[in-house]
């Protein structure tokens, strides 16, 4: 059976004022890998992930280098090449780099992710319509969860803490917690140890609170996030059952905490189960 995080890849965790990059489970990094074509690919992939994590806001050279554990000169050289290949966009007056046009063009090609989104899009729309909350489809990607799709609610006050393409550490938010809880205990514990430094930006999250949320998710089938990631926010998520191995997809919603009560939560759980059952 494949290791629960065979696909773990570079991401950055904030530790005090500096960032400590965490790479493959064996402890290698783009800067420490022996010189090779593989090293160059790893470095470029790490830089692209840093740009993707920043989203439309973009990211500075210093942060890219910090994220990826690279010297600024190395990060700058990689960025220049990515710009030439249209995988990154040249920085403007704000000196921030963003993903390039080619990334979007490549994403339009048929892929397994597109099929997953197409399959679950009707469920997302139905859950959002029936709950009045923003609904998300999340996928586990190493020690992170990436947002594949979202359905906006029609509520007057929409609550949208995550955008499509953004990434979060497993355990940060309801969908990401549901995916963490879907792993076996040994692997989830290893991941919690890995992401611990990355929880520092979230004052209400720590390894103990993540473990508690995981236990609750395993007990009830639903992960809840109540003001732990975004102030005044509420999230609820559940993993999508998989016929082979641990689930890699999760459905979740986000709403203002002010509209949530115990009865509301129970109603929303029934909506999830009904819509998922109709689509499976």
In tens, the pLDDT along 205-253 reads 999 999 999 999 999 999 999 888 878 889 999 999 887 778 899 999 9
d(CA 267, CA 265): 5
d(CA 76, CA 193): 31
Q: Which pair of tokens denotes residue 7?
A: 């696909």
d(CA 201, CA 140): 21
Interval 266-278: pLDDT, tens: 999 999 999 999 7
Q: Which pair of tokens denotes residue 173?
A: 């938010």
Q: How many CB atoms lie within 10 A of CB 77?
A: 13
170: confidence class by pLDDT, cuts 50, 70, 90: very high
CA dihedral 22, 26, 30, 36 (to 10 degrees): -170
Report helix angle 37-54 to 72-84, nearest 10. 80
Query: Which distant-in-sequence residues (6+ apart) come within 8 Å of 217 by Cβ?
Result: 177, 178, 181, 223, 224, 238
Report helix angle 207-220 to 174-181, nearest 10. 70
Q: Is the pLDDT of residue 124 over 90?
A: yes
Q: Is the pLDDT of residue 1 over 60?
A: no
**Residue by residue, what is the 3-state secondary structure of 154-208?**
CCCCCCCCCCCCCEEECCCCHHHHHHHHCCCHHHHHHHHHHHHHHHCCCCCCCHH
> Please, are residues 170 and 229 in contact by the beta-carbon 8 Å criterion?
no
Task: Report yes or no on whether pTM surpasses 0.75.
Answer: no
Interval 46-81: pLDDT, tens: 999 889 878 788 899 999 998 888 999 999 999 999
The whole-number average pLDDT for the span 191-204 is 90
d(CA 247, CA 54): 26
Q: How many CB atoms lie within 10 A of CB 214?
A: 24
């Amino acid at each position: 059976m494949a290791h629960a995080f065979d696909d773990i890849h570079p991401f950055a965790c904030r530790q005090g004022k500096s960032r400590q990059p965490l790479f493959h489970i064996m402890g290698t990094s783009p800067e420490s890998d022996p010189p090779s074509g593989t090293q160059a690919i790893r470095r470029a992939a790490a830089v692209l992930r840093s740009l993707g994590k920043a989203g439309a806001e973009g990211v500075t050279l210093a942060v890219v280098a910090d994220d990826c554990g690279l010297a600024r000169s190395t990060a700058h050289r990689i960025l220049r090449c990515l710009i030439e290949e249209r995988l990154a966009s040249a920085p403007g007056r704000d000196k921030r780099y963003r993903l390039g046009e080619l990334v979007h063009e490549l994403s339009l090609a048929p892929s397994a992710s597109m099929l997953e989104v197409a399959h679950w899009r009707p469920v997302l729309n139905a859950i959002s319509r029936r709950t009045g909350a923003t609904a998300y489809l999340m996928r586990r990607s190493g020690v992170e969860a990436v947002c594949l799709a979202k359905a906006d609610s029609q509520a007057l006050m929409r609550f949208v803490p995550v955008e499509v393409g953004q990434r979060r550490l497993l355990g940060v938010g309801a969908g990401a917690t549901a995916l963490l809880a879907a792993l076996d205990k040994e692997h989830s514990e290893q991941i919690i140890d890995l992401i611990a430094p990355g929880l520092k930006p979230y004052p209400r999250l720590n390894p103990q609170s993540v473990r508690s949320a995981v236990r609750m998710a395993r007990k009830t089938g639903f992960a809840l996030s109540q003001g732990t990631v975004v102030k005044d926010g509420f999230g609820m998520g559940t993993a999508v059952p998989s016929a082979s191995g641990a689930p890699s997809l999760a459905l979740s919603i986000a709403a203002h905490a002010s509209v949530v009560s115990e009865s509301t939560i129970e109603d929303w759980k029934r909506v999830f189960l009904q819509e998922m059952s109709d689509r499976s």
